[in-house]
Structure 1
């Protein structure tokens, strides 16, 4: 293993998920302090670079670890239990790699996969299809990207970007894979939200950035085939794992604190807080919600792997059923997490609100992230399926 790893991680296990757990345990030691400070989690991202987990979803023929999406997604959840910001940029790194595969040609993505493994590249996001302020102007053999882009998660400290621009005078999204250091790209350290404070989800400015035609992902392009429409489903699956990971991290924190620090209420007949009848009721409710969300999330991961392995044989119906499985897991995980991170304090008591404990970060991170696209609209899609048999229509959010 790399000598650049911190002493606590000098010897990492061979299993990818055990590596993720070791890194999560290490990150948990500083999670509260880093959440308060915000800014780029540079040390944590460098550990991921050295750990080889950035190659988790890359096929072995390109030097990667060749793991399934179910394993890659579980690694995201393991990291999210300790630090959902780092899990976010890690998950989006793999989403960017999948974007190359789904939107581009082999001649484009194969060498980029090899370089990602060889150079330990971290990919960042500058796509955000809802922000169309960046325009693409065609020239002979190249395009110019100019404008602004918001919610560029993981762009700071990245090596490569997936960036989008709107074709001038056309309702067309142009997506490219370009180096972050390309002349004309400015990444702004202006992310200052209440949660996910280390995702670097600030803005970017493109000033007459030259993008060669070979860097444009046009075959099949954005949502250009049934298989290409798996890209938004993977994004939703990653968010689901982050939501569930936050909820699991909050519940583990509750369980540890209630046995070590919590004081029973003076009117309670229990000998300690962990035996208080109301604490037991809340614990049972949280356990049930987590168990259901976990089962649905695992089913969704398996469904996505089946869809991915179908390649160009994937049908619209199979794609739609995969979308339903992921949406179901996403809503269940979000609701369970929001409930747990809000009501956990009923069990933990007044002392648990101390700022130095940082228990509020679970709710802040989850509340920030679950607004990525409204749960009401996701539930409405599920209702349309349940009542009318109508599968979700492919878009960048469905």
Structure 2
């Protein structure tokens, strides 16, 4: 990994409130984002910069050594990072999906210990929980389990300190979730992620060979989908996707507008004296901004509802949970459509020269296209349609 993308840019000394640190981090990441998109692989230096920023502790209470933030503060920070580098934004955001999993599935003693430890040691968390991939089997061995099998889409697992892993219990078919150290014997992380977008998310596969998981490492009390509160995990995840999509599209719009102002030429048939006054160029930019602004408002509204639901803990009811789901799904549908539109149409206003490989403006569309395929938006539309037509809230699951 002795490349210019990992050497030329020295991270800043992070200071100030969380959003200011995120702005500093985004500026640092933007310097090498295009080069690292070519490179792929694990962005060790950039992940270390995220750790140095202190933002891995954003949701952890102040009295435990964290930054004391909430979801409404976190999601705009995810967007800020995604504008510059959506791969790092995904890995960063999954830190909080994993911490949310611990909080929602574990006993009070478990989650408080793990959150304390995360703040104290500034730990990175990675993902090996994939509910659709049932190839990992858990075999009971007295007071512990042995996990063996494979898992795909393990975003952020490489270079992490802790993993959330899942498996199917051999005798009962029960879905098990556990928190384990990434460096434990029996875990092999394969650097086999080589997709056209989100190229530095370390979303490759993992192999488990008789991975020992102690009973106290299982996050099964109250466990997944045991209550409206525990089922908030899927909505945390869906809103993570939504805000990363939003950040990608906003980053594309910002870079395209800068290129248009500095380098694009007015078309020969235009009556305008400059491209910045061309009515068709202004029309397109107006459409872009209006659609992304609407999506941003929806995303922020959903985050405020999530905060209110999160504060209710186990008193959260089905109806309140359902209202959060509707808000999250509406936001996700809108940014999926508007984001793909903006990231593909920016070339219409930037011009033919903007397609040069040096700029790699296509990375915004590639990143968004890859990420939006991970969870088909058609099923969110079905859920929204069931509400609009039949008054039925989305059924809680790992994806809804």
| Both structures adopt the same fold (TM-score exceeding 0.5) | yes
1:298 matches 2:297:
no
Residue of 259, 278, 281 corresponding to 1:279: 281
* Matched residue SS, 2:231: helix
1:88 matches 2:63:
no
1:247 matches 2:249:
yes
In structure 1, what is the equivalent of residue 377 of structure 2? Answer: 375
| C-alpha displacement of 1:41 | 1.2
5+ residue gaps, structure 1, are 1-5
- TM-score normalised to the size of structure 2? 0.96
In structure 1, what is the equivalent of residue 5 of structure 2? Answer: none
In structure 1, what is the equivalent of residue 393 of structure 2? Answer: 391
Equivalences for residues 1-398 of structure 1 within 5 A = 9-398=11-400
| C-alpha displacement of 1:112 | 1.4
* Matched residue SS, 1:228: coil
5+ residue gaps, structure 2, are 1-7
Contact 1:62 1:110 in 2 (8 A): no
Structure 2 CA distance for aligned equivalents of residues 168 and 264 of structure 1: 66
1:155-212 per-residue CA deviation (whole Å, 9 max, x = no partner) reads: 0000000000011143321000000001010000000000000000000000000000
Structure 1 CA distance for aligned equivalents of residues 10 and 36 of structure 2: 18
| Runs of 4 or more above 3 Å deviation | 6-11
- TM-score normalised to the size of structure 1? 0.97
Structure 1 CA distance for aligned equivalents of residues 271 and 172 of structure 2: 70
Aligned residues: 394
* Matched residue SS, 2:230: helix
Deviates more, 1:330-339 or 1:268-277: 268-277
1:15-70 per-residue CA deviation (whole Å, 9 max, x = no partner) reads: 10110011001110100000110011111111111111000011223211110111
* Matched residue SS, 1:124: strand
| C-alpha displacement of 1:8 | 5.4
Structure 2 CA distance for aligned equivalents of residues 191 and 233 of structure 1: 26
Contact 1:57 1:66 in 2 (8 A): yes
Structure 2 CA distance for aligned equivalents of residues 66 and 105 of structure 1: 21
Contact 2:12 2:28 in 1 (8 A): no
Structure 1 CA distance for aligned equivalents of residues 11 and 35 of structure 2: 20
Structure 1 CA distance for aligned equivalents of residues 199 and 9 of structure 2: 26
1:304-333 per-residue CA deviation (whole Å, 9 max, x = no partner) reads: 000001111100000011000000111111
Structure 2 CA distance for aligned equivalents of residues 396 and 284 of structure 1: 37
Q: CA RMSD in A?
A: 1.3
| C-alpha displacement of 1:11 | 3.4
| C-alpha displacement of 1:9 | 4.4
CA gap 1:7/1:36 in 2 versus in 1, 3 angstroms: closer
* Matched residue SS, 1:310: helix
* Matched residue SS, 2:385: helix
Deviates more, 1:316-325 or 1:274-283: 274-283
Deviates more, 1:377-386 or 1:194-203: 377-386
Structure 2 CA distance for aligned equivalents of residues 314 and 234 of structure 1: 15
Structure 1 CA distance for aligned equivalents of residues 383 and 221 of structure 2: 29
